[in-house]
Structure 1
Amino acid sequence: MRVVFPFSAIVGQTDMKLALLLAAVDRTLGGVMVFGDRGSGKTTAVRGLAALLPALPVIAGCRFNCEPDAPSSACAGVCRHEGPGQTPAPVVDLPLGATEDRVVGALDLEKALTLGEKAFEPGLLARANRGFLYIDEVNLLEDHLVDLLLDVAQSGENVVEREGLSVRHPARFVLVGSGNPEEGELRPQLLDRFGLSVEVRTPETLAERIEVVKRRDAFDRDPAGFAKTWKSKDAAVRKKVAAAQAMLDAVTVPDAVLETGSRLCMAVGADGLRGELTLLRASRAMAAFEGRDTVTETDLRRIAPMALRHRLRRGPLDDQAGTSRIERAMDDLLAA
Structure 2
Amino acid sequence: MQSLQAGRFHRGCAAFRGAPRAAPRVRAAAAATAPAATGVRKSKKQLVFPFVKIQGQEDMKLALLLNAVDSNIGGVLIMGDRGTAKSVAVRAVAELLPIMDVVEGDPFNSSPTDPKLMGPEALQRFRAGEKLPAAKLRTPLVELPLGATEDRICGTIDIEKALTDGIKAYEPGLLARANRGILYVDEVNLLDDGLVDVVLDSAASGVNTVEREGISIAHPAKFIMIGSGNPQEGELRPQLLDRFGMSVQVKTLMDVDKRTQMVLDRIAFEADAEGFIAGCQAEQDKLTEKIMAARERLPKVKISRELQILISDICSRLDVDGLRGDLVVNRAARALVAYEGRDKVTQEDVGRIITSCLNHRLRKDPLDPIDSGTKVAILFRRLTDPEFVKREAEAKRKKEEAEKAAAAASPKKAGAWGGLPGRR
> Do both proteins adopt the same fold according to a TM-score greater than 0.5, normalized to the shorter chain?
yes
Shift in Å, 1:75: 4.7
Partner of 1:72: 119
Partner of 1:3: 47
Shift in Å, 1:257: 1.5
Structure 2: distance between partners of 1:269 and 1:163: 42
Q: Percent identity?
A: 48
Query: 2:323 aligned with 1:273, yes or no?
Result: yes
Structure 2: distance between partners of 1:185 and 1:135: 14
Q: What one-letter code is carried by the residue in structure 1 that aligns with 2:120?
A: S
Partner of 2:274: 224
Q: What one-letter code is carried by the residue in structure 2 that aligns with 1:209?
A: R
Q: What one-letter code is carried by the residue in structure 1 that aligns with 2:251?
A: R
Query: 2:65 aligned with 1:21, yes or no?
Result: yes
Partner of 2:357: 307
Q: What one-letter code is carried by the residue in structure 1 that aligns with 2:239?
A: Q
Change (3 A) 1:108 1:206: farther
Shift in Å, 1:10: 0.6
Contact 1:271 1:313 in 2 (8 A): no
What is the DSSP-based 3-state SS (H/G/I as helix, E as strand, rest coil) of the residue aligned with 1:129? coil
**Residue number among 83, 88, 92 corresponding to 1:39 in the alignment:** 83
Q: Which runs of no fewer than 5 residues in structure 2 stay unpaired?
A: 1-44, 126-130, 387-424
Cα deviations by residue, 1:237-273 (Å, 9 ceiling, x for unpaired): 1111111100101000011211221222223222221
Shift in Å, 1:298: 0.4
Q: Which runs of no fewer than 5 residues in structure 1 stay unpaired?
A: none
**Residue number among 170, 179, 187 corresponding to 2:220 in the alignment:** 170
Structure 1: distance between partners of 2:48 and 2:253: 21
Cα deviations by residue, 1:164-221 (Å, 9 ceiling, x for unpaired): 8632111111000001111111022221111000011111122222111111111111
Shift in Å, 1:41: 0.7
TM-score using structure 2 length: 0.73
What is the DSSP-based 3-state SS (H/G/I as helix, E as strand, rest coil) of the residue aligned with 1:38? coil
Q: What one-letter code is carried by the residue in structure 1 that aligns with 2:314?
A: L
Shift in Å, 1:303: 0.4
Structure-to-structure mapping, 1:162-311, within 5 angstroms: 162=212, 166-311=216-361
Change (3 A) 1:199 1:164: same
Q: What one-letter code is carried by the residue in structure 1 that aligns with 2:105?
A: G
Flag the structure with larger Rg.
2
Two-structure CA RMSD over aligned residues (Å): 2.6
Q: What one-letter code is carried by the residue in structure 2 that aligns with 1:52?
A: L
Partner of 1:102: 152
Structure-to-structure mapping, 1:135-174, within 5 angstroms: 135-162=185-212, 166-174=216-224
**Residue number among 136, 142, 149 corresponding to 1:86 in the alignment:** 136
Structure 1 range deviating more: 146-155 or 305-314 = 146-155
Q: What one-letter code is carried by the residue in structure 1 that aligns with 2:235?
A: E
What is the DSSP-based 3-state SS (H/G/I as helix, E as strand, rest coil) of the residue aligned with 2:105? coil
Contact 1:74 1:167 in 2 (8 A): no
What is the DSSP-based 3-state SS (H/G/I as helix, E as strand, rest coil) of the residue aligned with 1:50? helix
Shift in Å, 1:151: 2.7
Query: 2:92 aligned with 1:48, yes or no?
Result: yes
Shift in Å, 1:161: 2.6
